[in-house]
Amino acid sequence: MKGVILAAGVGTRLAPLTLNCPKPLLAIGGRLLLDYTIDAFVQAELRELVLVLGYKGEMIQRYVEDGSRYGAQVKYVFNPDYHLGNASSVHAVKEVVREEPFILSMADHMISHQILKMLLTSQVEHNMLCVDRQALAPPQVNDATKAWVNESGLVTRIGKGIRNWNAIDTGVFRFSSAIFTAISQLTPSRIKGHGISDAVTRLIKMGYRIHACDVSGFFWMDIDTSDDLRYVESNHVGARLVTR
């Protein structure tokens, strides 16, 4: 199974830090943000990785190279429409992963490899979303994407603006190739594009089950703003993650 890491975004909310540097290459806790993400995949025995690049992608490719220093094999896909939402970056890997299920995360998420292992060991074969019911840290709950998980453990609603929710979307997924069909059916937009939650909502409407994988208690942080960076640095989060 391949691991897909989205590293295409501009990181506008971290400007001016991202004016000359893509967000995945920002230093945090003594390492670069992308290092944490790649290491989590490798520790989970997911060594065949696809990085989706966009904004200043050549800098990321020069840094990661072939991935061998991580113990990984890295391929690259460039998304020319990276400014149109991260659903377009998911769709960009269609020809690389083809019909195989894959595990997806974001380059700006610091995640425990245990979250990825839970997806790999789950009895559910395809579409899953890792959710956290105990999220409290500012980088987890500020501007969070929420989800409603029903009594059968299925995600029935997802989005930043939903009124009723009982879990936080951690940004880690397991997808079947049906996600590409869902993205292709989204209404075209050349202004703001679509997010992954839009694609998941479309999957649900298409009749696919999206199983919730409860990873409450496992480490993850979503780094979007300068406040998130300060929180992680002041709480020595990077050092704690490395030791887990």
Backbone dihedral angles phi then psi of residue 79, each to the nearest 5 degrees? -105, 105
Q: Show the domain range for 174.
A: 2-235
Residue 242 lies in a domain: no
Percent of the chain with pLDDT over 90: 80
pLDDT tens string 42-100? 999 999 999 999 999 999 999 999 999 999 999 999 999 998 899 999 999 999 999 99
Rounded to 10 degrees, the C-alpha dihedral 158/159/162/166 comes to 50
Residue 170 lies in a domain: yes
Is residue 203 within 8 Å of 210, Cβ to Cβ? yes
Residue 63 lies in a domain: yes
Residue 243 lies in a domain: no
Q: Provide the CATH number for the domain around residue 26.
A: 3.90.550.10
Higher pLDDT, 28 or 124: 28
Q: How much is the mean pLDDT over the chain?
A: 92
Q: Strands 167-175 and 128-132, how do they pair?
A: antiparallel
Residue 240 lies in a domain: no
Task: pLDDT band for 233, please (50, 70, 90 cuts).
Answer: confident
Which residues have C-beta within 8 Å of that of residue 100, sequence separation ≥ 6?
Answer: 1, 2, 177
Residue 8 lies in a domain: yes
Q: What is the number of alpha carbons within 13 Å of residue 132 lying toward its C-beta?
A: 24
**How many domains are contained in the chain?**
1
The per-residue pLDDT for 139 is: 87
pLDDT tens string 117-152? 999 998 777 899 999 999 988 889 988 999 999 999
